[in-house]
Amino acid sequence: MKTIVTNRQIELILQRLAHQILEDNPSAENTVFIGLQPRGIFFSNRLVKVLQPLYAAPLQYGQLDITFYRDDVRRELHVANKTNIDFTVENKNVVLIDDVLYTGRTIRAALDALLDYGRPARVELCVLIDRRFSRELPVQPDFTGKTIDTIFSQKVKVNWQERDGSDEVVLLD
């Protein structure tokens, strides 16, 4: 196990990503933020907490469960999580937030699920970790905390204080 992002680095990444998102989305009026269940919500909760003071108006923030939109749901038993989106995404700029971008399949499922809530004007992707050489689908993040190069046998695990007792990203061989 090797630590690739420390607690302090996560704090700095959150600040940087918040300012990059603000630069591209200066108005909270037309922008909504959606964290992806289950693991992306720890990151999205933190990011929205950093973003909120940067905007003059309250942010629209929801959480999206993509369980039954996944293309592997037929092969494995999945336990659904809760979707909490009490606003429309119709003609809004949507910032999807997830912890790790790996194959791109989660984001494909999220895009399908998102359409149940309206047709966005634009969708942007914000990730803490981009495993750029592992893509199976043509998905690229708009906002990236850290890009790492891994091989398929390696696993990236994001630990969060709320669930794991510490904030860090580790690489498992």
The residue extents of the domains of the chain are: 2-172
In which band, very low, low, confident or very high, does the pLDDT at 72 lie, cut at 50, 70 and 90?
A: low
Residue 68 has pLDDT above 80, yes or no: no
Which residues, at least 6 apart from 59, have a Cβ–Cβ distance to it below 8 Å?
Answer: 28, 31, 32, 33, 48, 51, 52
Note the pLDDT of residue 95: 98
pLDDT above 80 (res 77) = no
pLDDT tens for 37-59 read 888 999 999 999 999 999 999 99
| pLDDT of the residue at 69 | 83
Contact 115, 88 (CB under 8 A): no
The per-residue pLDDT for range 24-34, each reduced to its tens digit, is 999 999 999 99
Residue 157 and residue 172 in contact, taking contact as beta carbons nearer than 8 Å? yes
Per-residue pLDDT, averaged over 80-103, amounts to 93
- Residue 171: Cβ within 10 Å count: 16
CATH, range 2-172? 3.40.50.2020
pLDDT in tens, 108-167: 999 999 999 999 999 999 999 999 988 999 999 999 999 999 888 899 999 999 999 999
Q: Return the pLDDT at 67.
A: 85
DSSP symbols for 84-131: B--S--TT-EEEEEEEEESSSHHHHHHHHHHGGG---SEEEEEEEEEE
* 148 vs 82, residue with greater confidence: 148
Pick the range with the lowest mean pLDDT from 67-76, 77-86, 118-127, 146-155. Answer: 67-76
Q: How far apart are CA 33 and CA 102, in angstroms?
A: 21
* Count of other CB atoms within 10 angstroms of residue 41: 24
The per-residue pLDDT for 71 is: 74
**Beta strands, E only, the chain:** 2-5, 31-36, 60-64, 93-101, 122-131, 143-148, 155-159, 168-172
Q: Of 99, 129, 97, 134, nearest to 114 (Cα)?
A: 97
Residue 74: is its pLDDT beyond 90? no
pLDDT value at residue 80: 65
